[in-house]
Structures are given as C-alpha cells and as structure tokens.
C-alpha cells in the first residue's frame, strides 16, 4: 500500500473543487492506498493560499506518490506540488492510467469494510445495494475487478480483495 497525495485545481472553482478531491480520495482508498487529501488537510475555505500550501507541501514530502486531478496544469498550487513530487522522485499518477472506475473502487472499499466487520465477504445483493446496482451489476463489477487483479474468487459467487493492491 502506498501513501498518495492528491493535487488539483481549487482556486476559482465551485466548492473549491472539494467534491473532486473527495471522490478521488474515496477511489484511491478503495484501492487500498493511504490518502492525503488537501480538502481534508485544509477544510477551512477562508484559509489563505500560502498557509494551505505550507501545510500541504509538508504532507506531500511524506508520500510515495502524487495523484493529479484533471486541470492540475492550470493550478499554481498543483503545479508546484507536481514539481516537488517529481523532484523528490514520487510516482506520478493520473486518472486516465488507473484500471478501475470510482464505483469499482467503492465496491473494493465496501468489501474491505464489510470483511473487517463480519469476517467474510459480502453477498452480491449487499454489494449491489451499497453501490446502487443490481446483484448482476455487482457481479459485473467483481468480474472486472478480478480481471485487473483487485479481487479473487473465494468460493461460489464470493470474492475477496487481494492482499496486494497496486495501481
């Protein structure tokens, strides 16, 4: 599991683009990563840019990878974060290179939580209900996740996340 920092545009965007940051964080956590999300590090929208960047850069330097949201190139802060990350040799991740969708990552995250709470994988119906899909839709998510190596079958119609999840 790697520690991933999210970078992207905020200034001038509705809600400071926090929904995109939170969606990326959920997706990355669903893939098994520890995530540092600037929208969680600095939740106060009145905090100044320089104060936020000081906190964010300190966190970024402790990470293994940086995940760049679309439009990061047009952001002064995200461009600085990308420069620092590259200079420190962090792995650079972009949304278009990931193998799973946000909804598939939600399935993984839910499965990990369910297994932690119940000691066994959730039924297809429960997975489907959690992500707004039918049991057949949940089965399709799991088959895709299996194809990419994120889950493995553990019995008839049952799947469990693999121990090593990598991007």
Say what the pLDDT of residue 15 is. 92
Say what the pLDDT of residue 166 is. 37
Sorting pLDDT into bands at 50, 70 and 90, what band is 34?
very high
User: What rounded mean pLDDT belongs to the chain?
Assistant: 85
The label of the residue with tokens 């106060």 reads 44
What is the rounded end-to-end Cα distance, in angstroms, of the chain?
A: 10
The set of residues, in sequence order, having a beta carbon less than 8 Å from that of 123 and lying 6+ positions away, is: none
The rounded distance, in Å, linking the Cα atoms of 95 and 101 is 9
The set of residues, in sequence order, having a beta carbon less than 8 Å from that of 3 and lying 6+ positions away, is: 33, 34, 35, 36, 62, 63, 64, 65
pLDDT in tens, 105-142: 778 778 877 888 888 888 889 998 988 888 888 888 88
Q: β-pairing, 91-93 with 3-7?
A: unpaired
Say what the pLDDT of residue 131 is. 85
Sorting pLDDT into bands at 50, 70 and 90, what band is 165?
very low
Q: Quick check: 56 pLDDT over 80?
A: yes
The rounded distance, in Å, linking the Cα atoms of 167 and 154 is 22
């Amino acid at each position: 599991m790697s520690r991933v920092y999210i970078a992207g545009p905020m200034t001038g965007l509705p809600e400071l683009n926090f929904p995109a940051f939170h969606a990326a964080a959920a997706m990355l956590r669903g893939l098994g990563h520890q995530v540092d999300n600037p929208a969680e590090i600095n939740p106060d929208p009145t905090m100044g840019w320089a104060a936020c960047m000081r906190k964010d850069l300190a966190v970024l330097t402790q990470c293994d990878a940086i995940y760049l949201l679309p439009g990061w190139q047009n952001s002064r802060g995200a461009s600085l974060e990308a420069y620092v990350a590259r200079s420190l040799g962090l792995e650079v991740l972009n949304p278009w290179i990931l193998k799973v969708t946000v909804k598939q990552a939600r399935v993984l995250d839910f499965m990990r939580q369910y297994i932690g709470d119940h000691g066994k994988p959730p039924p297809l119906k429960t997975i489907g209900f959690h992500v707004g899909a039918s049991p057949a839709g949940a089965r399709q998510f799991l088959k895709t996740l299996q194809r990419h190596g994120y889950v493995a079958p553990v019995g008839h119609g049952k799947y469990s996340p693999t121990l090593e999840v990598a991007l």
